[in-house]
Structure 1
Amino acid sequence: MLIAMFMAVLDVAVVNVALPTIHNELHATGAGLQLSVSGYTITYAVLIVTGARLGDLWGHGRMFRAGLALFTAASLACGLAPDIGGLIAFRGLQGVGAAAMVPQVLSIIQRTFSGPARMRATSMYTAVIAGGAAVGQVVGGLLVSANLFGSTWRPAFLVNVPIGLAALVISGRVLPKDRGEPGRGLDPVGVAVLTPTVLAFVVPLVLGHDEHWPLWGWLLLAASALGVAAFVTVERRLERRRGTPIIPGRTLALPGFALSIGLMFLVMAVMTGMFFALTLHLQGALGFSALDAGLAGAPAAGAIFVVSMRWRRLPARWYPWLVVAGLVVVALSSFALAGVLHGGTTGGLARWILQAVNGAGLGLAYSPLLGVMLSRIPVSDAADASGVISTTAQVSQVVGIATFGTLFLNLLAQAHLHASAHAVSAVLVVAGAIALLGALLAIRLSRVR
């Protein structure tokens, strides 16, 4: 399950370093390139909660395999796409497959494992989510630079095909044969309100900068706020009638769940925003190749993975404070990295060390946060919580790239020496300040029982 999920998480970032090559080969416009990235992100973010509930309704193993099959087939189609229009369409199908597949992973973990085995499984789950964005940059750089058989960017998608087929065969043998809970219901009204609400929020963030923040974007953002209010009203009314809302109030009322979701959103937004701005700076201003830019993320990716797999060895009473400590480390290392890059140099060994420290802080903040949150979720609420967690992880990445990317590009437009260095330093300082704010909020986790 985690191998399949890793492909879905990876595909958010793996394409970024391939964009220059796609632009050259498919003669794509800027809008086309943006849609080739965001087509996946938008459909994935919009449909995750619905995918989680369909798993409850039809069976998590069955839904996982259906999503994996669609994701694998769409990856093949992306790798063979003859033009940018086809690539955009197939990226959307990839997002549909990921939205059907990913929410089932947490539900199956919660229903299959218990005690220490569940904690080990959730540690691996958090390592995949936290490290996927960083590893995506590395894998994308390696695949594009390898230029296998002269195929340039296409292996970034085709690599999913043999892995997906193998996972599909194995999953048929090892996943539990659940048949779902037909009595749960799909909550069509909730889906009908939530889907356009998420769409109205995500689309302006994804396309806003390239379109120079048009009026329609601001109107959609305002409409998304109204959509949230309408969704809350619909769900509360359904719950009072003893129906099955797509996000039950009892899930959000679990001890520390709402606070943990907020912190998770913050950590993921900071992480993806920093990685995005650093990649733009390294490739745009410092002339790094796709391979070099991808490998630049290796220290952070490695540190995130190691910390995500090892934090459980510490005493359980420390877990809430690990989140606080991790966010403080992220803040301090971001400030230091801003100072190293401000002068327009590559930063040398100091940049590598600080990126590793930064990654360790991100892993320390994210993994215990998600691990503690998952340990408090009853099995009966696993699917609903999985939908909320998966949606948060996806939307936070969109928000991180949109906000930090916009800040970087606006500062980059200023005509002065080392504009890119100043821009990336400003992004890192803002990220560090947000991490410090998160550390203050995370102190409240120690009081949750």
Structure 2
Amino acid sequence: MFSSLRIRNYRLFATGAVISNTGTWMSRIAQDWLVLSLTGSSTAVGITTALQFLPMLLFGLYGGVIADRYPKRRILLATQTALGACGLALAVLTLSGHVQVWHVYLIAFLLGMVTVVDNPTRQAFVAEMVGPTDLRNAVSLNSANFQSARLIGPAVAGVLITAVGSGWAFLLNGLSFGAPLIGLLMMRSAELHRVERAPRGKGQLREGLAYVAARPDLIWPIVLVGFIGTFGFNFPIWLSAFADDVFDAGPGTYGLLNTLMAVGSVAGALLAARRATSRLRLVVGAALVFGVLEMTAAVAPTFWLFAALMVPIGAFGLTINVTANSSVQLATDPAMRGRVMSLFMMVFVGGTPIGGPLMGWLTDTYGARVGFLVGGLVSALASIMVGLVLARIGGLRLRVDLRRGGRQVITFVPREVADRQPAGAAAERVPSRV
């Protein structure tokens, strides 16, 4: 489960990340609370979130070109410094009493712009630290790292906001970026896996898009992740609406639901770290279960049943993200990895400015249950569509084995095998990335 931590460079990276991730979660909570206290408007909070994710939607692919062209450790030293500077700037404005909502909007947008370069670079740099053998494990541990910080950061932020105000949460967030900077500086360059960098030239963005479009094992997982990220991951909208409107509870209940989801997410990431392979069928299956669980939660009659479902929803949501991420990275040529991962993150994160307002409108107009139900339905339908496309491309056909004692009741087999053997006959195992 923790095999990649034996690598010194990755240990330094992971240690710095858990500290800065905790600061990031503190800042997210403090930022939303600050905007709400300045404006009294939930719409203003939504605008802040949209501004932070909008750059990824608009410019995400260019960040991948930069990640492929320049040394990744140097890029990360620059981006992590810039992220820390943004946190410190917001801290100074808040603690001095001069902060206005447009300051928060501007800094949120700047954070998004830096993330355009930082995110694909960080994703691709993992392969240089651990190599292809431990890549899947390291990607899983990165997700566990981020979700573990989610268990700590919001709680610390709540205490700080109540006791001394939002400014101190921003200050600690800005200072927390010192940890990854120290880790990057302490890394041994000789122990990094060398990757050929893309030469400077025209058409590299189009080259990256053409590369992904010609690879079904890349394009379809990215399509599925795009649907899930845009329509299935709008939990701040749904959970706050359920806590307030459906169950008539307060912010404490909202915090509890987020904590339960984070527990499931950590468990899902750690279980993913134990797997030896990252098959696309796992991505599709997890997405289908994820959608069904969301639809089940949408009609849950009691609070405790709804709350209990947050744990498996978090686990399967992380399984989708981690497995798709590692599958795409392992299938990508190292020289193209930055551009491919920028596209991956663009469709996964960049869909938030589109899906968030749409799901918010559905939730406000028709109720929290309908909004959550639609998000789960879109996720489930997208998984079925992508699964059928991948099966067709792989020359596979769905077969049902209803015999007693069968290990696999529903399985995919090659079309010629399905046509040749009678129903219920055992099919040979076919090696396939699908």
TM-score when scaled to structure 1?
0.72
**In structure 1, which of residues 170, 181, 189 is the aligned counterpart of residue 183 of structure 2?**
170
**In structure 2, which of residues 39, 47, 63 is the aligned counterpart of residue 35 of structure 1?**
47
**Structure 1 residue 98 displacement after superposition:** 1.9
What SS does the aligned partner of 1:158 have? helix
**In structure 1, which of residues 49, 65, 79 is the aligned counterpart of residue 61 of structure 2?**
49
The letter for the 2-side match of 1:425 is R
Change (3 A) 1:335 1:33: closer
The aligned counterpart of 2:365 is 410
The aligned counterpart of 1:401 is 356
The aligned counterpart of 1:332 is 292
What SS does the aligned partner of 1:159 have? helix
Q: Is the 8 A contact 1:54 1:186 kept in 2?
A: no
The aligned counterpart of 1:161 is 174
**Structure 1 residue 184 displacement after superposition:** 2.5
| Correspondences of 1:342-357 after superposition (within 5 Å) | 347-357=302-312
Q: Is the 8 A contact 2:25 2:154 kept in 1?
A: no
Q: Is the 8 A contact 2:269 2:322 kept in 1?
A: yes
| Correspondences of 1:26-105 after superposition (within 5 Å) | 26-27=38-39, 32-81=44-93, 82-105=99-122
1:280 aligns with 2:224: no
**Structure 1 residue 246 displacement after superposition:** 6.3
The aligned counterpart of 1:254 is 215
| Correspondences of 1:284-295 after superposition (within 5 Å) | 286=247, 288-295=249-256
Give, in whole Å, the separation in 1 of the partners of 2:248 and 2:166.
19
What SS does the aligned partner of 1:429 have? helix
Give, in whole Å, the separation in 1 of the partners of 2:126 and 2:216.
20
The aligned counterpart of 2:280 is 320
The aligned counterpart of 2:128 is 111
Give, in whole Å, the separation in 2 of the partners of 1:175 and 1:28.
49
Give, in whole Å, the separation in 2 of the partners of 1:149 and 1:356.
28
| Correspondences of 1:230-269 after superposition (within 5 Å) | 238=203, 245=206, 247-269=208-230
Q: Is the 8 A contact 1:32 1:88 kept in 2?
A: no
The letter for the 2-side match of 1:394 is V
Larger displacement relative to structure 2 (12-21 or 50-59): 12-21
Unaligned runs of 5+ in 1: 188-237, 342-346, 412-422
Give, in whole Å, the separation in 1 of the partners of 2:252 and 2:172.
17
Give, in whole Å, the separation in 2 of the partners of 1:48 and 1:4.
22
**In structure 2, which of residues 131, 146, 165 is the aligned counterpart of residue 152 of structure 1?**
165
The aligned counterpart of 1:387 is 342
The letter for the 2-side match of 1:64 is L
The letter for the 1-side match of 2:230 is A
Change (3 A) 1:106 1:19: closer
Q: Deviations along 1:280-336, whole A, 9 cap, x unmatched?
A: 3314665544443123112222212222222354564x8333223322322332222
**Structure 1 residue 141 displacement after superposition:** 4.5
The letter for the 2-side match of 1:162 is L
Q: Deviations along 1:201-232, whole A, 9 cap, x unmatched?
A: xxxxxxxxxxxxxxxxxxxxxxxxxxxxxxxx
**In structure 1, which of residues 171, 185, 203 is the aligned counterpart of residue 200 of structure 2?**
185
Q: Deviations along 1:73-105, whole A, 9 cap, x unmatched?
A: 101222333221222222222222222221111
The letter for the 1-side match of 2:200 is G
Q: Deviations along 1:109-148, whole A, 9 cap, x unmatched?
A: 233433431221122345567x49xx75x66642453135
The letter for the 1-side match of 2:54 is I
**Structure 1 residue 28 displacement after superposition:** 6.0
The letter for the 1-side match of 2:345 is S
- RMSD of aligned residue pairs (Cα, Å): 3.4
**Structure 1 residue 54 displacement after superposition:** 2.0
1:434 aligns with 2:378: yes
The aligned counterpart of 1:198 is none
Q: Is the 8 A contact 2:283 2:323 kept in 1?
A: yes
**In structure 2, which of residues 330, 335, 347 is the aligned counterpart of residue 375 of structure 1?**
330
What SS does the aligned partner of 1:184 have? coil
TM-score when scaled to structure 2?
0.74
What SS does the aligned partner of 2:279 have? helix
The aligned counterpart of 2:406 is none
**Structure 1 residue 167 displacement after superposition:** 1.2
Choose between structure 1 and 2: higher helix proportion: 1
Give, in whole Å, the separation in 2 of the partners of 1:244 and 1:356.
39
The aligned counterpart of 2:416 is none
Unaligned runs of 5+ in 2: 1-12, 94-98, 395-431
Q: Deviations along 1:384-440, whole A, 9 cap, x unmatched?
A: 1121112122212333312211211122xxxxxxxxxxx111122212212221231
Give, in whole Å, the separation in 1 of the partners of 2:283 and 2:213.
20
Q: Is the 8 A contact 2:26 2:170 kept in 1?
A: no
Larger displacement relative to structure 2 (2-11 or 280-289): 2-11
Change (3 A) 1:84 1:314: closer
**Structure 1 residue 244 displacement after superposition:** 6.5
Q: Is the 8 A contact 1:247 1:384 kept in 2?
A: yes
The aligned counterpart of 2:411 is none
Q: Is the 8 A contact 2:293 2:309 kept in 1?
A: yes
What SS does the aligned partner of 1:116 have? coil
The structure with the largest alpha-carbon Rg is 2
Give, in whole Å, the separation in 2 of the partners of 1:48 and 1:8.
21
Q: Deviations along 1:18-45, whole A, 9 cap, x unmatched?
A: 6355333x34666644433332222344
1:297 aligns with 2:258: yes
Give, in whole Å, the separation in 2 of the partners of 1:405 and 1:388.
25
Aligned residue pairs: how many? 373
Give, in whole Å, the separation in 1 of the partners of 2:30 and 2:265.
20
Change (3 A) 1:368 1:74: same
- Percent pairwise identity: 13
**Structure 1 residue 107 displacement after superposition:** 1.9
What SS does the aligned partner of 1:147 have? helix
